[in-house]
Amino acid sequence: MARARSVLLVDDETLFLATMAKVLARHGLEVLVAPDAASAMDIMERTDPDVVVLDVRMPGQNGLEALRLMKERHPMTPVILLTGHGTVDDGQEAFRSGAFDFQTKPAKVSKLLETIEEAIRSRGLVEEAARRQPT
Amino acid sequence: MSAASQRRHATLYRRLLENMLLICLVPLFLVGGAAYLQFKHYAGRMVLDQQERLVLNHRDFIESYLRGRIAELTAITNQYTLEQLRAGELERVFAVIQQGAGIYTDIGIIDDRGDHMKYVGPYNLEGRNYSGSQWFLALKSRYLVVSDLFMGYRAVPHFIIAVKHPTPAGFWILRASLSTDYFSQIVEGIRVGGTGEAFLLDRQGLYQTKTLVGGDPLQPSNFPYLSPHRGVRTVDLKVGGRTFLCSHVWIFGDQWLLVFRQERAEAFAPLQRALWTWVFITLAALVVVCLTTLAIARNLVGFVARADAEKESLHAQLLASSKMAAVGEMAAGVAHELNNPLGIIETLRTWIMDLVPEKGLAHEDVPEVIDSARKIGDQVERCRRITHDLLKFSRRVESERARTDINALLGEMLGMVEHRAKADNVRFEFEPGPLPIVVTSPSRLQQIVLNILNNAVDAMEARGGLVAVRTWAREDSIQISFKDSGCGIPEENLQRVFEPFFTTKPVGKGTGLGLAVCYGLVQQLGGELEVQSRVGIGTTFTLTLPVVPPEGGRSV
């Protein structure tokens, strides 16, 4: 695959961003970080990351609104929602809005990594299928 | 109910009783008293009126009787000449006017010198001279005399009627004496009851006729009301220690006083009987009023006591649910705030574990660091469990309702828990009863059932045991019972099992939120959750769910 495996982390907790970025980088991912939804949209316009990990509760635009916007502009980019206020109903809402997965904080890094890998693989398959059936 | 409530109800009962009795009894006594006085007055007046009317009628009767006799004698003097009467007509006429009844004792003719010229009767009075007699002297200026009772020549009490007949030479007199017995019978003719009698007195108060109580003719009566007066008068008079009601009226031109008397007790006996009836009815009314008042007061206080008990229970429920709501709000905030730092700790822990083997720590310390990092991970997991339970507890979001087969859902849940239960040597027994399809939230119900089953398994404390699940239908609800043979819950804890953060499990094993979450969820489903327990025997949770959740109930 020509594309680098890149992850965009969006969270208002800077310590969380910094630590998670280091951990994910150590597992071979290129990590981009954004402290809010607006910066995340800017980064996506410029670099098109393979996958986005998005916090639900943030100041300004919240994660679910950002998710809808991202799916509108970048429908191929899988978005994993991460929240401290995890409920089944929030999860259902996330999936309805097009989230790839929904995980609750504190998330096990190993599980998150698995999900990221899965999302990238899934995106690759989808893009492959799209290339074979040009419109 | 509290002692204060009981005291308040006792006071209420007493005051209610006092006031109601006052309200009922005061008018009863006022009306009853007024009726009593009125009745006594009018009935007493009636007794007097009746007696006075009797006396007046009797007066008229006696007077007409005497006038009849006078008319009779006057007619004789006018129809017969002196000679005819002396020649023998007097005997014949006397026989006719006697009418076989013995109205007269005798009859005679007296000349203007007072000599008895002719006599027909049982006494030997012919030739007697009456010129000194009171009646003869009275006839000088009158043509008619009716005498008082007197003895005269015959020495027997008697009345006479004398009629003067004028002649050209002077006059002669026809004189008849009335039979005392016959006249007494006429006067006494209105005997009433055992003591009512009538008699005549002359102006000096001497008896003119016989009496039952008092004296014989010509004896003094000591009657104190001899002054002349018009009409009838009634007075109380004591005779021989007994009180008599005496009505008296002057008759025959104020010559005699006609007295009717009856013992007062006898005269008023019917009135007295009526008054006793009144007293009886009043007492009966009193008893009825008292009993009714007691019953009403008791009912009212019972009603208030029930309402108060309901209010106390509602108040307790309100307090409990507001406590739950407050805890819920707080729990959500705390949980969310904790999850973020926990996320950071978990990520840092992962970072440490990633780094440690490469950074040249002393070889023997590496396993220690990794072990500590793992333990940090365990504690983060424990915190995560607590915060997630808190979030479930505070959840207020909508969940979709669906037509649910409760027995099937329970079967699935039992299957899920069975695996863990087998390890703890716990058996499940499921007795599904026929149930209608229920409209409810299956995910909420799963949470509730899972919590209760996990608690039941925990209650066996690895000793093993039996959890019996039964379902049955009621009118418009269904019930599920979960009966375990676990350690049971002591009485003092039974009231608290649904309180948030109440747990008897060892530290770290339970968050104290499981049953509180269940309670909240059951309420959201419009149902009820009850618990019964006996230490050493086991605990039964009974879940009641409406077949169709109430409209406008709490959101699910």
Give tens-digit pLDDT for B511-547: 667 787 788 888 888 899 898 988 888 899 999 999 8
Strand-pair partners of B107: B120, B176
Question: Domains in chain B, start-ordered, CATH in brackets?
Answer: 80-182 (3.30.450.20), 191-267 (3.30.450.20), 399-546 (3.30.565.10)
pLDDT at B341: 83
With contacts defined as CB-CB under 8 Å, which chain B residues touch A23?
347, 350-351, 354
> Which among B324, B462, B455 has a CA at the least distance from the CA of B395?
B324
Q: Which amino acid is at B542?
A: T
DSSP B357: G
Domains of chain A, by residue range, sit at 6-132
CA distance B326 to B333: 11
Whether B344 and A19 lie within 8 Å, measured CB to CB: yes
How far is the alpha carbon of B377 from chain A, nearest alpha carbon, in Å? Answer: 9
Structure confidence at residue B418 as a pLDDT band (50, 70, 90): confident
With contacts defined as CB-CB under 8 Å, which chain A residues touch B354?
23, 26
Give tens-digit pLDDT for B55-95: 999 999 999 999 999 999 999 999 999 999 999 899 999 98
Whether B344 and A57 lie within 8 Å, measured CB to CB: no
CA count, 13 A, side-chain hemisphere, A50: 23
pLDDT of residue B421 exceeding 90, the answer is: no
- Residue, of B138 and B213, whose pLDDT is higher: B138
- Residue, of B316 and B325, whose pLDDT is higher: B316
Give tens-digit pLDDT for B250-277: 998 889 999 999 999 898 888 889 889 8
Whether A57 and B336 lie within 8 Å, measured CB to CB: yes
pLDDT at B377: 83
Decide the pairing of beta strands B465-473 and B426-431: parallel
What's chain B's average pLDDT?
85
CA nearest B393 in A: which residue?
A87
What's chain A's average pLDDT?
86
Give tens-digit pLDDT for B532-541: 988 888 899 9
How far is the alpha carbon of A85 from chain B, nearest alpha carbon, in Å? Answer: 5
How far is the alpha carbon of A135 from chain B, nearest alpha carbon, in Å? Answer: 40
pLDDT of residue B127 exceeding 60, the answer is: yes
CA distance B438 to B129: 137
pLDDT at B280: 92
Residue among A19, A89, A106 minimizing CB distance to B351? A19
How far is the alpha carbon of B382 from chain A, nearest alpha carbon, in Å? Answer: 11
Q: Are A36 and A60 in contact (CB under 8 A)?
A: yes
Our CA angle for B87, B89, B90, nearest 5°, is: 100
pLDDT of residue B554 exceeding 50, the answer is: no
Q: Are A79 and A99 in contact (CB under 8 A)?
A: yes
> Which among B232, B236, B234 has a CA at the least distance from the CA of B250?
B232
Give tens-digit pLDDT for B337-371: 788 888 888 888 888 888 776 666 777 777 777 88
Whether A20 and B392 lie within 8 Å, measured CB to CB: no
**Tokens for B254?**
């104020």
pLDDT of residue B308 exceeding 50, the answer is: yes
Q: Is A87 helix (H, G, I), strand (E, B) or coil?
A: coil
Our CA angle for B475, B476, B479, nearest 5°, is: 85
Give the pTM: 0.48
| Percent share of chain B, pLDDT over 70 | 92
With contacts defined as CB-CB under 8 Å, which chain B residues touch A26?
351, 354
pLDDT at B555: 39
pLDDT of residue A2 exceeding 50, the answer is: no
How far is the alpha carbon of A17 from chain B, nearest alpha carbon, in Å? Answer: 9
**Tokens for B76?**
């004789």
Q: Is B63 helix (H, G, I), strand (E, B) or coil?
A: helix
CA distance B59 to B254: 11
Query: What is the dihedral sign for C-alpha B507, B509, B512, B513?
Result: positive
Q: What is the CATH number of domain A6-132?
A: 3.40.50.2300
pLDDT of residue A5 exceeding 60, the answer is: yes
Structure confidence at residue A120 as a pLDDT band (50, 70, 90): very high
Across the range B216-234, mean pLDDT stands at 89
With contacts defined as CB-CB under 8 Å, which chain A residues touch B374?
none
Residue among B339, B351, B443 minimizing CB distance to A105? B339
Helix-strand-coil percent breakdown of chain B, rounded to 5?
A: 50, 20, 30
CA distance A69 to A98: 10
Among A55, A85, A110, A111, the residue to mutate for chain B (most B Cβ within 10 A): A85
Structure confidence at residue B412 as a pLDDT band (50, 70, 90): confident
CA nearest B556 in A: which residue?
A89
pLDDT of residue B333 exceeding 80, the answer is: no
Q: What is the ipTM of this complex?
A: 0.77
Give the number of beta-carbon pairs within 8 Å between A and B.
71
